[in-house]
Amino acid sequence: MNRLDGKVALITGGNVGIGEAIAKLFTREGAAVVITGRRKDRLERVVGEIERKGGRALAVAGSVTEDTHAREAVAQTVRTFGRLDILVNNAGIGDFGKKIHETDDATWQRVLDINVTGVFRMTRAAIPEMLKAGGGAIVNISSIASLVGIPMLPAYAASKGALDALTRAIAVDYAAQGIRCNVVNPGLIETPMAESLLSDPAKTAEVLSHYLIARPGKPEEVAKMVLYLASDDASWVTGSTFTIDGGMTAR
């Protein structure tokens, strides 16, 4: 038996990187998935790859900055697959290479609107359906930038710190209704967001000097942790923070 048989999952930012890896792993484990993102062509590529391997998937293009998109993504999930059991809030952006006095209001607001308020919008839309289903699992994708100081990313760090706190608040408010909420905090992962860093060998080597396992993580490795938290294997786990960072925060 697969770990997600009969489950339906909604994954934001499911068209690339960690979100794509989660969507593909979830379908291999028996779930039907709905993936969202701003690039329809990339969403359809992922859906096509899932369907060719016998999985069930649906693409809903749009941005977590729009409440109408959040509500429509949930509505389409329920119309197509009948229920909603799992929400993975993976969509996010970074703004790297600036100190706080170099960060303008528009950049600050854009990062927080996607990384925090987008999670608020999607979760607000999803929880009523989870309550109807008798429970559910929410997994938020944060960063080790919420746990340790990392230079030159104040807006990103602030947004991920807020996301960790929001995770705990959701866990407290809905545990009695069978809804669990946890947060995963990856370190450096081989994704398009990290491409500018990983394309520079000198910068990559400097960053990885802080990692006990001196290589970037893979999206598939993060997906396996998310699978555990989304599955019934984690039925006694809520409000918790899970680092996956090659030992970076162990020092």
Q: What three-state secondary structure class fits 187? A: coil
Asked if 119 and 139 touch (Cβ cutoff 8 Å), the reply is no
21-60 in b/e form (b: 16+ CB < 10 A) is bbbbbbbbbebbbbbbbeeeebbeebbeebeeeebbbbbb
pLDDT for 73: 98
- Catalytic site residue from 156, 174, 211, 228: 156
- Is pLDDT at 251 greater than 90 in this prediction? no
Burial class (CB in 10 A: 0-12, 13-18, 19+), 16: buried
Number of helical (H) and strand (E) elements in the chain, helices listed first: 9, 7
Q: Where are the domains of the chain?
A: 8-243
Q: What mean pLDDT comes out for the span 172-180? A: 98
Architecture label for domain 8-243: 3-Layer(aba) Sandwich (3.40)
Say whether 228 is catalytic.
no
Handedness of CA 118, 160, 224, 230 (dihedral sign): negative
Residue 25 — pLDDT band, cuts 50, 70, 90?
A: very high
The pLDDT of residue 149 is: 96
pLDDT mean over 33-58:
97
Q: State which H helix or E strand residue 58 sits in.
A: strand 56-61
